[in-house]
Amino acid sequence: MAKYNKGKFKPKNPQKYKGNPTEIVYRSSWELKLMLYLDDHKDVLTWGSEEIIIPYRSPIDGKIHRYFPDFIVTKINNEGKKETALIEVKPAKQTSPPKKQEKMTSRYITEVKTWGVNEAKWKAALNFCKDRGWSFHIFTEKELGIKF
């Protein structure tokens, strides 16, 4: 099982942070790794953590809820153009539906519910980004270069 660290992040480049740079919270070592990268990378113009709210309908209760994607990043791309992306950080095993099981265990039911909510959030995020000309990405241990 991965170790999950939580804490406050103090940026070296607070002028790049979109939001209050004294209140940046990371909820995992993976988020911390990405924060360090975004804070330091020369092509990143601005970034924020949980600064965007996207409404989505939960498949569990049918109600509208609020989704806070992990990161918003504006950077200069390979063609020298400015682009904005929303990034969600998740373990790879949470980025696809759980494998069907014959026995309905409470763990399996929780995994199915989690997948359903995540899928609803990500569909809402894709539409939100499409409307603005942004992109949406899910970063796993693979994209973050984490051996797991």
Q: What is the CATH number assigned to the segment(s) 7-144?
A: 3.40.1350
Q: Compute the mean pLDDT over every residue in the chain, rounded to the nearest whole number.
A: 93
Domain boundaries in the chain?
A: 7-144
- Whether residue 3 is predicted with pLDDT greater than 60 in this model: the reply is no
pTM of the model: 0.90
Q: What is the pLDDT of residue 104?
A: 85
Which phi and psi (to 5°) does residue 92 adopt?
A: -55, -35
Contact yes or no for 28/5 (Cβ under 8 A) = yes
What are 141's two structure tokens?
A: 């241990």
Q: How many CB atoms lie within 10 A of CB 126?
A: 15
Question: Using 50, 70 and 90 to split pLDDT, how confident is the model at 101?
Answer: confident
Pairing of strands 64-67, 54-57: antiparallel
Per-residue pLDDT averaged across 34-55, rounded? 97
Residue among 64, 76, 75, 72 at smallest CA distance from 124: 64
pLDDT of 124 reads 98
* Positive or negative: CA dihedral 79, 85, 91, 93: negative
Pick the residue with more confidence: 147 or 67?
67
Query: Is the model's pLDDT at 1 over the cut of 70?
Result: no
Over residues 126-144, mean pLDDT: 96
Identify the bridge partners of residue 139 per DSSP, sorted by sequence position: 89
Task: Please tell me the predicted confidence (pLDDT) of residue 14.
Answer: 97
Residues identified as active-site: 31, 70, 90
Residue 147: the pLDDT is 61
| pLDDT one-digit tens code per residue, 106-116 | 999 999 999 99
- Distance, in Å, from the CA atom of 86 to the CA atom of 64, rounded to the nearest integer, reads 20
